[in-house]
Structure 1
């Protein structure tokens, strides 16, 4: 149905005093999820679409390895580690219990293979080998993980190891796990592609990715399963349909089938009743603002990053946005200086505010330019 026709029907019904279901269909309650805690989030906006006990501290099991991978990717991005580097497998890594890549003690394994073993096979031995190689010990690496968690705002998270094996004071929440997963996807899109690999062979042993949604829905391209007896069955899933990417986190379900079924139910709910739109491209001018006493008289202004909004499905025509600019800005203006705010509204409700910054610098003008502008400003006032 075309939006103008829908608007006409809505207006007619309003004037006539007739309730109109077409005007704005109500969004139902999220599906019932058999988990200790869960959360559904739009990756691009951070908007939470469904949650329950999302801030309860729970054992994350192998969901821990999302942060393990994030920390490794940060080291690689900083040039301190490469995919071809070889890592010596210690006896501690080799003896680590639980799921494994079946590394040989004393062998040298590439970072690339260790990452695949950790991500696809959930190998605890691969996780410990990476941690020891980067930080000298698994405990020291856990400190690095905690530093990243604090920087990302995951304030209800504390890691003791790189694997997620049960340990005192090792915990996280559905909300924090979603934030960490979103940061990994945002910062390392090329590395994230590892999470959709369905099987990996190492040491002549083929293991299949435990994320069953990779085999059921081709829009799902990640992310990580987890299980211990204390934590229950956990799953972080991410799917992209069109421009919209959703991340679901379920923690503490009763079985591998339930975590898959519940995760897919959450994802389908989000895609069915919400939509995501990119309103502005990052570092692309929204407007040019007057600058006084500068070498240039105008400066391009826009957001630093792409601006997305998440809204109930079918209400796109109600979106509006504008720039609330800082008046009478004088040079010098540095690139990145905040010069206003992009305000986004849905109908009469303000739903998002995004800083608008100078996309170029404007140095101070010469004496003549400053004098002329001072006179103009005097007469304007």
Structure 2
């Protein structure tokens, strides 16, 4: 049986493409929701069952920007432009990888100083990466910075294997978690955001994830505003270039693959108010950053 480089049988990928049209219609029928609702239902797939949502690339809007602004304190949607249109999240995916890691720490299934092994598979992930080698280990606390600041794909797979056994098994758990959070139009295929036609989300779902991760795990808020960290004798700077440049910005995560354009989930607080801003599909990083900055200024007022 033939396989692709990710180890998935070729017939599975053919099945994904063949089912794209039907599933895109099903997604289009989903109802949008206000993030402030507490009675959100699980969505397309009950959280007790293995998610099977897979959408072909043709069902995803190509480079058409989408955005949403959410009140950080109440979850109320303040602005939205195509918030439910399907996009590839790219490395915004790592927000969910971190959410799953935080849950595991909270449940004492893993500790901050525990060493996670690096497999040959994890070490072989495409950049961006820390350059981990097979047989190495990395502490959980260092992995957190590797994910949030450097957006390291090798670290994402290390975490996935430590918590779920394999990237694929962990991605299923990520999608179940997404459903439980009310992210009805999100499907994860890997823990990093590396290109995969089945890795899809929306601006609304990414805003919900940003909102939930800040609300449930406030003790890690400083992680997202870290502008740089040292590991293995090297210094790594944050991919989020708004940090330290735009007043009030205190996180969260950037993302880019060719199919997605430039994505950003940003949180900011000024003048006693806070927002989470999501922009997906910027043509350049500079254009994306300018759009996010303009939305922050609009809803929080000028920096004092």
Same fold (TM over 0.5): yes
**Contact 2:271 2:300 survives alignment (8 Å):** no
Deviation at 1:217, TM superposition (A): 2.0
In structure 2, the residue matched to 1:337 is none
Q: Which of 173, 179, 195 lines up with 2:208 in the alignment?
A: 179
Q: Which of 22, 27, 36 lines up with 2:65 in the alignment?
A: 36
Output the CA distance in 2 between the equivalents of 1:181 and 1:53. 18
In structure 1, the residue matched to 2:281 is 252
Q: Are residues 1:195 and 2:224 paired?
A: yes
Moved over 4 A (4+): none
Q: Determine which structure has more spread, i.e. the larger CA radius of gyration.
A: 1
Q: Which of 56, 61, 64 lines up with 2:93 in the alignment?
A: 64
Deviation at 1:242, TM superposition (A): 4.2
When the two structures are superposed, what TM-score results if normalisation uses the length of structure 1? 0.61
Q: Which of 118, 121, 127 lines up with 2:147 in the alignment?
A: 118
Q: 1:191–1:169: structure 2 CA closer, same or farther, 3 Å change rule?
A: same
SS of the equivalent of 1:214 reads: coil
In structure 2, the residue matched to 1:54 is 83
Q: Which of 89, 100, 103 lines up with 2:118 in the alignment?
A: 89
- The equivalences for 1:1-381 within 5 A come to 36-272=65-301
SS of the equivalent of 1:215 reads: coil
Output the CA distance in 1 between the equivalents of 2:244 and 2:222. 15
Output the CA distance in 2 between the equivalents of 1:171 and 1:135. 20
Output the CA distance in 1 between the equivalents of 2:70 and 2:167. 31
Write out per-residue CA displacement over residues 330-368 of structure 1, whole angstroms, 9 at most, x where no aligned residue. xxxxxxxxxxxxxxxxxxxxxxxxxxxxxxxxxxxxxxx
Deviation at 1:135, TM superposition (A): 0.8
Write out per-residue CA displacement over residues 39-76 of structure 1, whole angstroms, 9 at most, x where no aligned residue. 01102111111111100010000001111101111111
Write out per-residue CA displacement over residues 74-93 of structure 1, whole angstroms, 9 at most, x where no aligned residue. 11111111111100001111
Write out per-residue CA displacement over residues 72-130 of structure 1, whole angstroms, 9 at most, x where no aligned residue. 11111111111111000011110000201221221111011111111100000011100
**Contact 1:103 1:203 survives alignment (8 Å):** no
Output the CA distance in 1 between the equivalents of 2:245 and 2:200. 30
Output the CA distance in 1 between the equivalents of 2:115 and 2:247. 34
Q: Which runs of 5+ in 1 are unaligned?
A: 1-33, 274-381
Deviation at 1:215, TM superposition (A): 2.2
Output the CA distance in 1 between the equivalents of 2:123 and 2:256. 20
Output the CA distance in 2 between the equivalents of 1:232 and 1:139. 24
Output the CA distance in 1 between the equivalents of 2:143 and 2:247. 26
Q: Which runs of 5+ in 2 are unaligned?
A: 1-62
Output the CA distance in 2 between the equivalents of 1:232 and 1:201. 28
**Contact 1:102 1:203 survives alignment (8 Å):** no
SS of the equivalent of 1:127 reads: helix
Deviation at 1:229, TM superposition (A): 0.8
CA RMSD of aligned residues (A): 1.4
Output the CA distance in 2 between the equivalents of 1:38 and 1:173. 9
Deviation at 1:157, TM superposition (A): 0.4
Judge which range, 147-156 or 215-224, deviates more.
215-224
Bigger relative contact order (CA 8 A; separation at least 6): 2
Which has the larger share of strand? Answer: 1
Output the CA distance in 1 between the equivalents of 2:119 and 2:182. 33
Output the CA distance in 1 between the equivalents of 2:215 and 2:161. 26
